[in-house]
Structure 1
Amino acid sequence: MRGLVGRWQTWAGFALAAVVLFGVAPALLSSFRLGLLGQYLCYAIVAAGIGLAWGRGGMLTLGQGVFFGLGAYMMGMHLKIADAEVRKQAVPDFMQIAGIPALPSYWEPFASSAFTLAAIVVVPTGIAALLGLGVFKRRVKGAYFAILSQALAAALAILLVGQATLGGSNGLNGFRTFFGFKLSDPVNRQMLYFIAAGTLLVVVAVVRQLMQSRYGELLVAVRDGEERVRFLGYDPANIKVVAYTAAALFASIAGALFAPIIGFITPAQVGVVPSIAFLIGVAIGGRTTLLGPILGAIGVAWAQTAFSERFPSGWTYAQGLLFIVVVGFFPAGFAGIGALFRRRRRTKADATPSGEPDPLSESEPVGAAP
């Protein structure tokens, strides 16, 4: 009976989210604000993967900007080639300015939309799987893994800045079409938002299934007692690699959607600072829950936009202060506040003897004799 109730609650939650994302938001928000919400949903997709890898698996992933950037740049390469073909030009506009007469060889496969979509899925997951096997098989974990992942994000950003064929520090920008649809058309931009919203719901469903499966139980067991899991005959490295690879896949898909929604992608959006920003949203929302990372990422991104519009120089300090407060006083994030109150209520109820009145809930009537 409890399982049936939980299943209905899950379906009701997804239905409510679909109504809000596909009905209420497009009806109430302007085209500009809807585009901003689309960006926030991309951040939420990344956060869902971090919640799985960090919240359930204990892997502090400080380098998700790597996979986010891979997906964004691969999508940007395809969009720039498509724009050049529409204009009947041999190379994209920025290559003409840089004096590059022909497409580099590694650009040519991205003229195919099928290859691009496949690469967005295969390349980041392959890199994450190889990296994860190399790191976790050597039992690298904790702060060492976090530093390594952050170093990869910094290395990718530095590499992209030095690549003239990828736009250098300016990155790829000025996208005009998306698989044949003009991005200047508000209807097509709304379509991009719907794609991001639908992708987020699918990712949440996948993460929920992983968390509630036997694999999810093993992942939590690895986080809490890796040596015990190894003693039981499981290889913790393989369990970690699956979560790390899934998080990389979600980040790559989010990056691929982010590039056409925002209209550009630069090295500054894939380095160390964006990777830490992803993590802050997850920590504030509540990394061990399903919806905490998602709501935290959306809330932090919205707050950044709102505060930056009014206090351009103060948001960084406010973000840092918020992160310190959450880590110092609410380690489980805002999602853990409700659980804390419920735990205290249960403790108070258990402390009250059955059959006796609770002195905290009942008091003597006014005017009663002592």
Structure 2
Amino acid sequence: MTVTMSKILGGREGAIGLAVLALLILVILPLSLDLFRLGLVGKYTTYAFVAVSLVLLWGNGGILSLGQGIFFGLGGYLMAMFLKLEASDPISTKIQTTPGIPDFMDWNQLTALPWFWEPFNSLPFTILAILTIPALFAFIIGFAMFKRRVGGVYFAIITQAIALILSILIVGQQGYTGGVNGITDLKTMLGWDIRNDGAKYMLYYVNALLLIGSILLSRYILSSKFGMLLLAMRDKEERVRFSGYDVSNFKIFIFCVSALISAVGGAMFTLQVGFMSPSFVGIVPSIEMVIFAAVGGRMSLIGAVYGTLLVNFGKTMFSETYPELWLFLMGSLFIAVVMFFPNGLAGVWDKYAKRVGFIRRIMEGKGKADNTSADSNTQGAKA
């Protein structure tokens, strides 16, 4: 294994952890769950993109964003625009007053497709937009904030406010965005029906592979010199600044990368679930996504994925079993994690894995000592 590959995989332990995660989401869960439950897992793993981005941004960079739902929602809406245009061909919409435009535009008396929707008739343009527009938006926010040394709780509050503003804007511009209902009734992608069983399995695997790819990309960033400077910046920002580095540029870059990863998750959410609404853009989903990272461990990329799965499985189980109490049960789970496991699932694993490894090393050392003693006695007897 080359040095670069070793860094990307996180060494021997990191490679094993990633292999276990890949085995779980690519083999075990698809074989053990029906299509409905597997679809839920697919939806949960789209949230994991945001949790992974928060490990980069918050865990390693010390930048708490309470507005990651902005970028998740942007990625989802951009993909939904392409899918909605494909579903709004003149034949399918012939009963409308204005055929050939999305139904919610027709309901709001629009008579032509808005100019900024036109480019989304192209899938390559849509993919490029998903990868650039959220990152560009993050750059604008980051440049405005970090160049003025706005950070800590103030940055968290500002991102929260931006998430609220964007969700209100989406709801208010009903004729262009679908309003509170969002963009729904998404059926095909380039003529491929994304609603049948085969398509759902295919999208699940594509999403899982992209998630693993985002983890590898994040590890590559964190294992580089930039990653070390990111940690130094988190712990001693002034020392990094006095060393001659422009801290604000580092913050802007990692904020843009986290936005890009979140946007990919949002686009895959739209493809798998078949709609996108402003309920995934506002404050509540953004805070929930921070909780996913906190439960899994805000310093662990793989832990963030497990935390996302655990919290969402808990939400599903509690809401199905105790529909009147599930919010209280989920709240209790979050409080318990914060109080007793401040480093999340990854912290628990590190603690007990190291303890078991320490005991094993002691036992191995004792065994070697006993063997040495026995060999010495045997040699003495022979003498």
Give the TM-score taking structure 1 as reference length: 0.88
Distance, in Å, in 2 between the alignment partners of 1:62 and 1:313 is 28
Q: Which of 122, 126, 131 is residue 136 of structure 2 equivalent to?
A: 126
**Structure 1 partner of 2:218:** 207
Distance, in Å, in 2 between the alignment partners of 1:348 and 1:260 is 48
* Matched ranges for 1:215-294 at <5 A: 215-294=226-305
Q: Which of 180, 193, 206 is residue 195 of structure 1 equivalent to?
A: 206
Q: Which of 19, 24, 31 is residue 23 of structure 2 equivalent to?
A: 19
State the AA in 2 paired with 1:87.
S
CA shift in 2, pair 1:17/1:291, >3 Å: closer
Distance, in Å, in 2 between the alignment partners of 1:202 and 1:143 is 31
**Structure 2 partner of 1:55:** 59
Structure 1: any 5+ residue segments left out of the alignment?
Answer: 356-370
2:346 maps to 1:335: yes
Distance, in Å, in 2 between the alignment partners of 1:289 and 1:283 is 10
Q: How many residues align?
A: 351
**Structure 1 stretch displaced more, 70-79 or 283-292:** 283-292
Distance, in Å, in 1 between the alignment partners of 2:322 and 2:105 is 37
Distance, in Å, in 2 between the alignment partners of 1:191 and 1:158 is 34
* Matched ranges for 1:60-79 at <5 A: 60-79=64-83
Distance, in Å, in 1 between the alignment partners of 2:304 and 2:14 is 17
Contact 2:82 2:120 (C-alpha < 8 Å) held by counterparts: yes
**Structure 1 partner of 2:162:** 152
State the AA in 1 paired with 2:28.
V
Contact 2:139 2:256 (C-alpha < 8 Å) held by counterparts: yes
Shift in Å, 1:347: 10
Distance, in Å, in 1 between the alignment partners of 2:47 and 2:185 is 21
**Structure 2 partner of 1:358:** none
Distance, in Å, in 2 between the alignment partners of 1:8 and 1:329 is 29
CA RMSD of aligned residues (A): 2.5
Contact 2:44 2:308 (C-alpha < 8 Å) held by counterparts: yes
Distance, in Å, in 1 between the alignment partners of 2:222 and 2:125 is 31
Distance, in Å, in 2 between the alignment partners of 1:282 and 1:212 is 20
Distance, in Å, in 2 between the alignment partners of 1:78 and 1:98 is 20
Q: Which of 79, 87, 90 is residue 92 of structure 2 equivalent to?
A: 87
Distance, in Å, in 2 between the alignment partners of 1:154 and 1:208 is 31
Indicate the SS of the match to 1:172.
coil
The structure richer in helix per residue is 2
**Structure 1 partner of 2:379:** none
Shift in Å, 1:341: 4.5
**Structure 1 partner of 2:126:** 116
Deviations 1:216-251 (A, max 9, x none): 111110010000111111111111112111110011
**Structure 2 partner of 1:368:** none
Shift in Å, 1:173: 0.7
Shift in Å, 1:345: 8.4
Shift in Å, 1:297: 1.1
Identity fraction in percent:
42
**Structure 1 partner of 2:378:** none
**Structure 1 stretch displaced more, 312-321 or 4-13:** 4-13
Distance, in Å, in 1 between the alignment partners of 2:350 and 2:275 is 41
Structure 2: any 5+ residue segments left out of the alignment?
Answer: 94-98, 367-383
CA shift in 2, pair 1:29/1:347, >3 Å: closer
Distance, in Å, in 2 between the alignment partners of 1:332 and 1:22 is 27
**Structure 2 partner of 1:33:** 37
State the AA in 2 paired with 1:83.
A
**Structure 1 partner of 2:50:** 46
Distance, in Å, in 1 between the alignment partners of 2:188 and 2:346 is 39
Shift in Å, 1:26: 2.0
State the AA in 2 paired with 1:136.
F
Distance, in Å, in 2 between the alignment partners of 1:11 and 1:179 is 37
Q: Which of 325, 339, 342 is residue 314 of structure 1 equivalent to?
A: 325
Shift in Å, 1:186: 0.7
Runs (4+) of structure 1 exceeding 6 A deviation are 3-6, 342-349
**Structure 2 partner of 1:364:** none
Contact 2:84 2:102 (C-alpha < 8 Å) held by counterparts: yes
Distance, in Å, in 2 between the alignment partners of 1:288 and 1:253 is 21
CA shift in 2, pair 1:19/1:343, >3 Å: closer
